[in-house]
Amino acid sequence: MSIKTEDVETEKSKGHSEHTQAAMIAEGLRGKFGRPVKITLFGAGSSFTPRLLNDVLQIPGADRGEIALVDIDAERLGMMHKLIERIAAKHGKDQGWKVISSTDRREVMAGSDYLTCCVEVSGMDCVAWDNDIPLKYGVDQCIGDTIGPGGLFKALRTVPVFLDILRDAEELCPNAIMLNYTNPMNIMCLAAGRQSSIPVVGLCHSVQGTSQLLADYAGVPYDQMKWACAGINHMAWFTRLEHEGKSLYPKLIDLVKDYVGETYEKDPVRFDMMLHFGAFITESSGHLSEYLPYYRKRKDLIERHCRDEYRGGSRFYASNWPTWRADADEERRAMVAGEKEITWERSWEYASWIIEGREKDVPVRIHGNVMNHDGTGQGKLISNLPTDGCVEVACMIDMNGINPTRYGALPAQMAALCDSNMRMFDLAATACIERSKEAAIHSLLLDPLTSAVCSTEEIKAMATEMFEAEKDFLGEYK
């Protein structure tokens, strides 16, 4: 079974200020690390890797440490090794930070303080199969990597490898924290929470990106907006959205209530959900449309609610992933050759802020994907969602690591939609852990979009066809 890298560029976040939130989080973070730290990154050829490590190397006071890069693609790994060394030199950290790399993770991961997962388990063929086989059965996907048939089969390929990495971590670096960026985020973190003693937090950029976007839509300064957000990954709800003590929702509703206009066209599915369910959701319109039974089950509904690219374009991810991957490879080659300048400032991605907050013992708030219980299996973070599930909530970071905060109860209609997704994720995680085709099919039977389009027999036939097409990447499923 091969492990390749996660190459999804964060295109949907481009155009927002990367620095407003970073500057706000950084306020009060001073001083030096009390020790050198070791960070191991799996799937090092990923498009995420240069930016995440550029962020780390810009942490004030992080003057010593070791970065271990792991990828089974030796060529991409070698290029990334050179690029990270150049980034370290650019920031004047090349004397204090050592970069090592290997195609064998066990050679380099021992003693790690932080693990970062950006792996892609498959080749480009699987991305096409994940999209095109379901399309034969009428299931039209935009992204197809976190829920639905595409998300399920990505999980079936990826979760077993993730659990193997975590088992190695339990042996070689039992005090490490795993920062997961790989999708399908919920299923990955859910399976890990049920199987591993390593603390795992799933990190997405949709909360940061959407909170900035909402300030733009409402026309208010970001640092003056007050908000609260909770739910599940890609379906977390901004249940509080205020400026100067007043809700911003009346203003947003007035902007889009007639389903026309520039603002509405930027996010048609999310605004429709806001109008009907009462709050704005974290994921882009196109990706969100896959989590729901309303928008992609008929051609006329797709034409009415969906637009191009991240606003709902059919086959958007499958059509563009090969180009994104090639472009990322070309950019890093140019940077290593000195043909393109490395100009990145520190971004709002959470990884470096988690490391800084923990090492300096200065509280930092993030939104992370964690198990919905307090570690005893009893107290819930979101009281009206399943205890043994994975939720996305505010977490405080300090010397004790990841400290999830209790949200309480979501409004009933919002909790119900999250719960519908979590039932699918529950069985998908079981399928990955037990290597069970039956549990995988049961999971797909509960998927909101798939069940809105297909009969039970069609869903079983689709899953069977996908298992056969991807058998070389799946390993043994009973």
**Which are the catalytic amino acids?**
205
List the one residue out of 415, 372, 417, 410 whose CA is nearest residue 390. 372
Residue 248, phi then psi, degrees to nearest 5: -85, -10
Alpha carbons 134 and 470: distance in angstroms, whole number: 13
Give the DSSP per-residue string, 197-261.
SS-EEE--SHHHHHHHHHHHHHT--GGGEEEEEEEETTEEEEEEEEETTEESHHHHHHHHTTS-S
**Maximum C-alpha span of the chain:** 61
CB 116 within 8 A of CB 42: yes
Helix (H) or strand (E) holding 266: helix 262-266
> What's the burial of 365, exposed, middle or buried (CB within 10 Å: 0-12/13-18/19+)?
middle
* Cis peptide bond prior to 184, omega within 30° of 0: yes
Distance CA 68, CA 168 (A): 15
d(CA 290, CA 311): 11
User: What are the structure tokens assigned to 90, written together?
Assistant: 């650019």
Q: Rounded to an integer, what distance in angstroms lies between the CA atom of residue 138 and that of residue 296?
A: 9
Instruction: Indicate the pairing of strand 390-398 with strand 235-243.
Output: unpaired
Nearest Cα to 366, choosing from 332, 402, 410, 340?
A: 402
Environment class of 177 (CB within 10 Å of its CB; exposed 0-12, middle 13-18, buried 19+): buried
Distance, CA of 6 to CA of 69 (rounded, Å): 14
Gap between the Cα atoms of 336 and 419, Å rounded: 46
Length of the chain: 478
The encoded tokens of residue 206 equal 């949709």
Would residue 219 be called left, alpha or beta, if left means φ above 0 and alpha means ψ between -120 and 50 degrees? left
Q: Is 43 left (phi over 0), alpha (psi -120 to 50) or beta?
A: left
Distances from the Cα of 280 to the Cα of 143, 219, 229, 277, 428, angstroms = 20, 16, 9, 8, 27
What is the token pair recorded at 133? 């086989």
